[in-house]
């Protein structure tokens, strides 16, 4: 009876390249949110009218020249001795700036922007991330329980936020998002790839600065450490990214840290599998 041939192990890659990324990579929620808000604004069907201060809205008014007495419109009445803004031909400027009628659109965009700025500039590693989460939960419970004038602190905060009104027109969202996306794409796809490590079974090469040269080191005795302990930046915004630390041995040991490596866990496993499958020549 013929025996089935043994399955061959999957071939291991000869080289594994690890790229570092700047903190700008984690800014993708800003341009993504900006594009979403621009679409929401475009389909809101609202336009912004620029009028003088103290302009009064009036409803169900007859406008001469636009119909009979039964044709009533909502109008804006500017104060005396003022006029609507004029263009270069001295004609009133027609409303053309697309703005959402909901004030929450601009508020949410600014909230995302401020959160990303905080997360990418304030490292919350390890215990600090746990402390922040516990503090937020603890403060939220206190705000819900403490009563001021028979209302919780959250009620007072939401009452204050009710008066917060941030409006950004569609062009503003698109300008910010398009410019930020172009910068994000160029930096992530081109500039970030100038800082890298190349691992092979016998050695690894390091390129730590733009315009610099590569330096090769032996993998014998090399240790690899992955640091992915910034909950907000690495796990939430980076989808499992982290910092890679490589240490060499010998008379002149070196320590290299490659920050913001995407899919860090998978990349480290690939390197370890490649090194374990290293062929040992007879007699060595």
Q: Is 55 a domain residue? A: no
* Residue 204: pLDDT over 80: yes
Model pLDDT for residues 42-70, shown as the tens digit of each residue: 888 888 877 888 888 888 777 777 767 67
Least confident range from 150-164, 173-187, 231-245: namely 150-164
102 in any annotated domain:
no
Cα–Cα distance for residue pair 183/194, rounded to 1 Å: 16
Report the mean per-residue pLDDT for the chain. Answer: 79
Long-range contacts of 83-90 (CB under 8 A, 24+ apart): 83/52, 84/50, 84/51, 84/52, 85/50
What is the span of the domain harbouring residue 208?
16-22+193-276
Query: Does residue 206 register a pLDDT over 90?
Result: no
Number of structural domains in the chain: 1
Average pLDDT over residues 92-99: 81
Single out the residue of 185, 173, 227, 239 nearest to residue 22, CA to CA: 185
SS3 115: helix
Specify whether the CB–CB gap between 26 and 117 falls below 8 A: no
Per-residue pLDDT band for 2 (boundaries 50, 70, 90) equals low
Is residue 78 situated within a structural domain? no
The answer to the question of residue 61 being in a domain is no
Share of the chain above pLDDT 90, in %: 13
Of the candidates 136, 154, 159, 133, the residue with the CA atom closest to the CA atom of residue 144: 154
Tell me whether residue 261 is in a domain.
yes
CATH code of the domain covering residue 258: 2.30.29
The pLDDT-based confidence of 278 (bands split at 50, 70, 90) is low
In a domain, 268, yes or no: yes
Higher pLDDT, 242 or 214: 242
122 inside domain? no
Confidence of residue 30 (pLDDT cuts 50, 70, 90): very high
Average of per-residue pLDDT across 117-136: 70
> What confidence score (pLDDT) does residue 172 get?
92
Residue 34 forms part of a structural domain: no
């Amino acid at each position: 009876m013929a025996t089935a041939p043994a399955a061959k192990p999957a071939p291991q890659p000869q080289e594994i390249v690890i790229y570092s990324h700047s903190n700008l990579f984690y800014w993708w929620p800003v341009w993504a949110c900006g594009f979403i808000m621009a679409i929401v604004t475009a389909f809101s069907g609202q336009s912004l009218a620029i009028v003088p201060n103290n302009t009064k809205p009036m409803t169900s008014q007859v406008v001469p020249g636009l119909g009979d007495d039964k044709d009533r419109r909502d109008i804006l009445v500017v104060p005396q001795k003022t006029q609507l803004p004029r263009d270069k031909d001295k004609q009133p400027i027609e409303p053309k700036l697309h703005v959402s009628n909901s004030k929450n659109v601009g508020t949410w965009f600014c909230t995302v922007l401020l959160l990303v700025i905080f997360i990418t500039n304030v490292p919350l590693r390890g215990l600090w991330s746990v402390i922040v989460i516990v503090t937020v939960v603890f403060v939220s419970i206190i705000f819900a329980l403490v009563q001021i004038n028979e209302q919780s602190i959250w009620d007072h905060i939401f009452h204050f936020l009710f008066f917060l009104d941030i409006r950004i027109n569609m062009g503003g969202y698109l300008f910010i998002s398009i410019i930020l996306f172009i910068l994000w794409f160029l930096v992530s796809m081109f500039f970030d790839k100038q800082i890298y490590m190349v691992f092979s079974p016998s050695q690894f090469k390091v390129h730590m600065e733009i315009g610099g040269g590569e330096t090769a080191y032996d993998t014998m005795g090399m240790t690899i450490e992955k640091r992915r302990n910034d909950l907000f930046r690495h796990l939430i915004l980076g989808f499992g990214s982290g910092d890679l630390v490589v240490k060499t041995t010998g008379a002149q040991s070196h320590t290299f840290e490659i920050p913001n490596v995407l899919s860090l866990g998978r990349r480290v496993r690939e390197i370890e599998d490649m090194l374990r499958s290293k062929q040992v020549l007879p007699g060595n």
